[in-house]
Amino acid sequence: MTFVNAVIRTVPLWVGVCFGVMVFSNGECEAKSLSENDLVNVMGPDECGECHKAEVHIWRETRHSTTFKTLTRTKQAKKIAGNMGIKRVKKAEACVACHFTSGYRKNKVKAIAGISCESCHGPAKAWLKIHGDYGGKHVTREQETPEHKAGRLAAIRKSGMIRPGNLYRLASNCYQCHIVSNEKLVNVGGHGSGNDDFELVSWSLGEVRHKFLRSEGKKNEVVDRERQRMLYVVGKALDLEYSLRALAEVTETGTYATAMKARVQRVVNELRTISGVSPIPEVEKILEIILSIDQEHRQEVLSAAADEIAVTTQTLAGTRDGSQLSDLDRMIPQAEQYKGKPGGPPEQLSMHGLLSVAGRLNR
């Protein structure tokens, strides 16, 4: 019997032998707090807002930002914290990893914001100045030479910035939190197992959308259709990868096991549908990996399968641009299905202010 068939039955026999903490061979998959080295490099969203005023203005209106003040006051958060024996939510790793941005302030590590710029793009201290240097103090983005741009982009990648072009790494930051990898948090704490409706196109183009750069802060643009196709397919592959990693955490029957088995089965079916509409070699490979897992799988087998899927998804994200995937257009969420309403530029910015923003963006 294959894993795909077994996963929809009762909790499989291997559950009792999955102990310990997951260790992933690709080293970047479990949602967890930043390392000491990363924490000292966190600058905070205000630093980004010096140039990206429209983007940070939008962010401040999103739940990624507002929950910094509101989350700990909710009855649900208080109940979960009580169930887990947590006294201070903003200091508990189980909470901080996915709900807050942490950094050093006055020689102490503390939560400084909600989910913010560096949660997605990486701690910025090492690359912030390089990111905005187009070749000199008075050189604009439009005037930057191809040679300088290539060197600048290589430098910020080396320094740790996760740019939009690195779709796999950028989107991984979404899935490692929107799929909960902490069994105790769900079974004991009463926390949800993740967002069942999380889908990369509808969620990234809704409330959290902040694409102002090309319009110099004047318009929150929608990514093109080719990019949407890639968001859709890569998102489904990441959903499966992280669902498998979460399933590998299961040690007992319960809410968490049931939710993760159901999620894996759902995403496998969605990938089968994608494959039927638009055959994609990488998606076919991912389905083959799933079919190769038999009923007697164990934690290390699931983790190894997730690692294989990760490599395949990185190939998919790094070698395709969506131009050949037009058959998927009817499957991609439309504007009315976006998660929340995307905001516009700050109304209080005068034309002088907008030009000032553009000037800083082009430094």
Q: Residue 12's pLDDT is what? A: 38
- Residue 46: give the domain boundaries: 3-124+161-361
Do 47 and 125 touch, CB atoms closer than 8 A?
no
User: Token pair for residue 76?
Assistant: 């649900």
**Per-residue model confidence (pLDDT) at position 22:** 35
Residue 337 is encoded by which pair of tokens?
Answer: 């299905």
Closest to 164 in 3D by CA, of 127, 210, 197: 210
287 occurs within a structural domain: yes
Count CB-CB contacts under 10 A for residue 184. 15
Q: Answer whether 58's CB lies under 8 Å from 209's CB.
A: yes
Q: How far apart are CA 275 and CA 59, in angstroms?
A: 35
Does some domain include residue 149? no
The per-residue DSSP string of 228-267 comes to HHHHHHHHHHHHHHHHHHHHTT--SSSHHHHHHHHHHHHH
Is residue 138 situated within a structural domain? no
Please state the pTM of the whole predicted model: 0.86
Q: Which two tokens stand for residue 232?
A: 């859709």
Q: What is the pLDDT of residue 349?
A: 46
Please report whether residue 298 resides in a domain: yes
What local confidence, expressed as pLDDT, does residue 32 receive?
52
136 occurs within a structural domain: no
Q: Is residue 170 included in any domain, yes or no? A: yes
Picking from 153, 205, 213, 180, the residue whose alpha carbon sits closest to that of residue 337 is: 205
pLDDT of residue 338: 97
Question: Which helix or strand (DSSP H or E) is residue 22 part of?
Answer: none
User: Does residue 242 form part of some domain?
Assistant: yes
Q: Is residue 119 part of a domain?
A: yes
Bridge partners of residue 103, in order along the sequence: 110
Q: How many domains does the chain have?
A: 1
Q: Give the separation between CA 306 and CA 238, rounded to whole angstroms.
A: 9
321 within 8 A of 40, measured Cβ to Cβ:
no
Distance of CA 360 to CAs 15, 137, 148, 155, 325, Å?
Answer: 55, 10, 18, 20, 37
CB 68 within 8 A of CB 44: no
What lies within 8 Å, CB to CB, of 111 at 6+ separation is 68, 90, 91, 96, 100, 101, 102
Local confidence pLDDT in tens for the 363 residues of the chain: 455 555 534 333 333 333 233 333 333 334 455 677 788 999 999 999 998 999 999 999 999 999 999 999 999 999 999 999 999 999 999 999 999 999 999 889 999 999 999 999 999 999 999 999 999 989 988 899 999 999 999 999 999 999 999 999 999 999 999 999 999 999 999 999 999 999 999 999 999 999 998 888 899 999 999 999 999 999 999 999 999 999 998 999 999 999 999 999 999 999 999 999 999 999 999 999 999 886 655 788 999 999 999 999 999 999 999 999 999 999 999 999 999 999 998 874 444 344 444 444 443
77: phi > 0 → left, psi -120 to 50 → alpha, else beta; which? Answer: alpha
Which H or E run includes 9?
A: none
In the prediction, which pLDDT does 217 show? Answer: 86
